[in-house]
Amino acid sequence: MIATLASRRMGQPWLLAAFAVPTAIWLLAKPATEVASTLPWIVCSSSNGEAAAPRPRSVVKTLRSEPLVTARGKYVTTQLVHMPPLAFSPRHVHGGDVTAYVLRGTVRSEHAGLPAADFGAGDMFYEPYGTTHVFFENPSPTEAADVLAITVHEDGAPLTTFLD
């Protein structure tokens, strides 16, 4: 109905105000907890009307980090990235060049404006320094995935910075 009102010529602005003002007053008058508990089903819901559960996150374990002898001030850090079933890592950047090798399972990645791609066990991919990793996920609802990530970076650089 509001979309229909907005698409008509605004000959009756009082009608739009009649809907917008009470809604704004209701949002301001209600305690934040009550508003939060009544609105999310509109914004984020499952097909059965229940709120969607948050997705698990990746678990990162640093295995080793050491200086590169041939590149003063540079380090190489090796990490194991464990992705539980349906794990999701939001938009981020890395503080160095990353080469990733999928040890088990399948991961999906969208990187630097390229189309999303799936990588299975034995596949490798490269993430150049400074580019945005749009998302990284395990699409499987039943199987975990493990990725070995090798990052070449400046001494003290943050290895991952989330943007959202």
| CB 80 within 8 Å of CB 146 | yes
For 109-132, what is each residue's pLDDT tens digit? 998 878 999 999 999 999 999 899
Q: Give domain status of residue 49, yes or no.
A: no
Low-confidence ranges of the chain (pLDDT < 50): 1-47
Q: What is the pTM of this model?
A: 0.67
Q: Give domain status of residue 50, yes or no.
A: no
For 79-102, what is each residue's pLDDT tens digit? 999 999 999 999 899 999 999 999
CATH number at residue 117: 2.60.120.10
Q: Give domain status of residue 30, yes or no.
A: yes
Task: Give me the domain span that covers residue 34.
Answer: 2-43
Average pLDDT, the chain: 78
Q: What is the pLDDT of residue 53?
A: 79
Secondary structure of 111-161 as H, E, C letters:
ECCCCCEEEECCCEEEECCCCEEEEEECCCCCCCEEEEEEEEEECCCCCEE
Angle at 34 between CA 30 and CA 36, to 5 degrees: 110
